[in-house]
């Protein structure tokens, strides 16, 4: 095989490949133009998309040329879901999402030099395509039997699937064909849930152009229990800081399961094998130190957000547990902490709540009596200051940025609230 393909395999990026030997030979022979697509079905890309972008970065660093496709047309339809029909978003909204995602993906690649990246939009070649030309030039190369045999289609046959979603594979295959014709693209990458679409594109180019091209699919990352990776209790982990704050993003990786640290380090960092092996060893021997998780969270937050945002996130976590000054945290960071903890605002009248009421509202204690007991035992804190009076009441001066407060019981049970009146 080829050195870069060996690297991708070792790091866990390869689930399927149409012909590994042919792909390795092509990568050895010179620069390969390749593409990966991102459909704007939301205003941001997410952690699953980042897997593809990390793969793109490795291939580009090896001298190969990336094309990042933002699906202005395929985003209007959406790849079939296993369960039900997608809601079709308005064209204007999809257009806005195209521009947002174009900006996001552009941050992960280099646009200069012989391997400089290009961002393309498939709306450019589908918007003027007539139905007759589409059916004659693309549809004639597809077997209905093979399309019906796709897993996602079979899963939907009983409940029903529209022709719109059924035909998605033709549009994605057309993308590969157009990029092959326009830019000499000979490799498409994507998640393993896209394998049927990827191979359909390879087959379309073979049938219509008589050329051999390749497809490579990455595994779908999961947690140790097999559930979907990139989900928190509050939802998807987005790359847009307005949708998942840098603090919440850093915390997500800091809380990774020990069993998955090695896998995530290989995928989401550029650390070499020896360093990853050492971090994995330390994590196994001293799991309470979370050495591997810290390296992972720091590296990926630096990449997706910035070193400054990573420092703010780590400072926020330290301040919450009494190791840094809470008053020094920016308002946006405190707002993100409250949002991540998922605690609803506490609304007050003219009189501010007692510390006991705050402890209960934040879920730090189960009842008012437990809150009073925590204070009497010396284990209750308001903004990291020990509370000694069971009847103590919040004062306006205690509100951080005029509305936030942090309460803690002991060293590890913490809550943050927004106070509104």
Q: Could you give the strand order of the β-sheet that contains 65-70, starting from the edge strand earlier in sequence?
A: 16-17, 214-218, 187-191, 33-38, 65-70, 118-121
Q: Which comes out higher in pLDDT, residue 414 or 338? A: 414
Q: CATH 1.10.240.10 region(s) of the chain?
A: 221-323
Sign for the CA dihedral angle at 361, 367, 370, 375 comes to positive
Decide: 380 and 409 in contact? Cβ < 8 Å. Answer: yes
- Residue 415 clears pLDDT 70, i.e. is over it: yes
* Mean pLDDT, residues 115-130 taken together: 94
How far is it, in rounded angstroms, from Cα 199 to Cα 190? 11
Helix (H) or strand (E) holding 148: helix 144-148
> What residue ranges of the chain are covered by domains with CATH 3.40.50.620?
3-218
What is the tally of helices (H) and strands (E) in the chain? Answer: 19, 13
Tokens of 190: 């994507």
What is the per-residue pLDDT for 84? 72
The CATH 3.10.290.10 domain(s) of the chain lie at 343-421
Q: Which residue has the higher pLDDT, 156 or 134?
A: 134
> Which residue would you say has higher pLDDT here, 345 or 93?
93
**Average pLDDT in the 159-178 region?**
88
Task: Record the pTM.
Answer: 0.89
Q: Read off the DSSP letter of residue 193.
A: G
CATH class of 221-323: mainly alpha
- Which of left, alpha, beta for 138 (phi over 0: left; psi -120 to 50: alpha)? alpha
Portion of the chain with pLDDT greater than 90, in percent: 65
Right CATH for 343-421 from 3.40.50.150, 3.10.290.10, 3.40.50.10680, 3.40.50.2300: 3.10.290.10
Q: How confident is the model at residue 339 (pLDDT cuts 50, 70, 90)?
A: confident
* Pair of tokens at residue 165: 């979603």
Report whether 317 contacts 294 (CB < 8 A).
Answer: no
Task: Give the pLDDT confidence of 209-239 residue by residue, as tens digits.
Answer: 999 999 999 999 888 777 778 777 667 899 9
Q: Does domain 3-218 have CATH number 3.40.50.620?
A: yes
Is the per-residue pLDDT at 153 higher than 70?
Answer: yes
Mean pLDDT, the chain, integer: 91
């Amino acid at each position: 095989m080829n050195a870069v393909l060996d690297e991708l395999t070792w790091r866990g990026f390869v689930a399927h490949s149409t012909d590994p030997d042919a792909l390795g030979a092509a990568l050895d022979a010179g620069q390969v133009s390749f593409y990966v697509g991102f459909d704007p079905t939301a205003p941001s890309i997410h952690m699953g998309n980042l897997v593809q972008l990390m793969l793109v970065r490795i291939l580009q660093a090896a001298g190969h040329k990336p094309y990042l496709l933002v699906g202005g047309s395929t985003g209007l339809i959406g790849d079939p879901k296993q369960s039900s029909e997608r809601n079709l978003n308005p064209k204007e909204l999809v257009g806005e999402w195209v521009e947002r995602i174009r900006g996001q993906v552009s941050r992960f690649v280099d646009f200069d030099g012989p391997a400089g990246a290009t961002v393309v939009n498939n709306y450019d070649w589908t918007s003027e395509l007539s139905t007759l030309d589409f059916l004659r030039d693309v549809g004639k190369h597809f077997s209905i039997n093979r399309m019906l045999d796709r897993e996602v289609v079979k899963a939907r046959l009983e409940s029903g699937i529209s022709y719109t979603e059924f035909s998605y594979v033709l549009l994605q295959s057309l993308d590969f064909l157009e990029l092959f014709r326009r830019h000499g693209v000979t490799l498409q990458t994507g998640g393993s849930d896209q394998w049927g679409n990827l191979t359909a594109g390879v087959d379309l180019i073979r049938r219509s152009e008589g050329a051999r091209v390749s497809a490579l699919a990455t595994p779908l990352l999961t947690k140790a229990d097999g559930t979907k990776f990139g989900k928190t209790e509050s939802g998807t982990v987005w790359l847009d800081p307005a949708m998942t704050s840098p603090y919440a993003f850093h915390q997500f990786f800091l809380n990774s399961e020990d069993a998955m640290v090695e896998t995530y380090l290989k995928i989401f960092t550029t650390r070499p094998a020896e360093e990853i092996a050492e971090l994995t060893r330390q994590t196994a021997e001293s799991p309470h130190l979370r050495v591997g998780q810290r390296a992972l969270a720091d590296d990926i937050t630096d990449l997706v957000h910035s070193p400054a945002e990573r420092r703010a996130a780590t400072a926020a976590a330290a301040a919450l547990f009494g190791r840094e000054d809470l008053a020094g945290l920016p308002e946006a960071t405190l707002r993100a902490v409250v949002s991540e903890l998922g605690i609803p605002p506490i609304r007050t009248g003219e009189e501010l709540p007692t510390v006991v009421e705050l402890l209960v509202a934040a879920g730090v204690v189960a009842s008012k009596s437990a809150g009073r007991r925590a204070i009497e035992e010396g284990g209750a804190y308001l903004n990291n200051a020990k509370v000694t009076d069971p009847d103590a009441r919040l004062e306006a001066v205690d509100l951080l940025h005029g509305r936030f407060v942090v309460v803690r019981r002991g060293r590890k049970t913490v809550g943050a609230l927004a106070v509104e009146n």
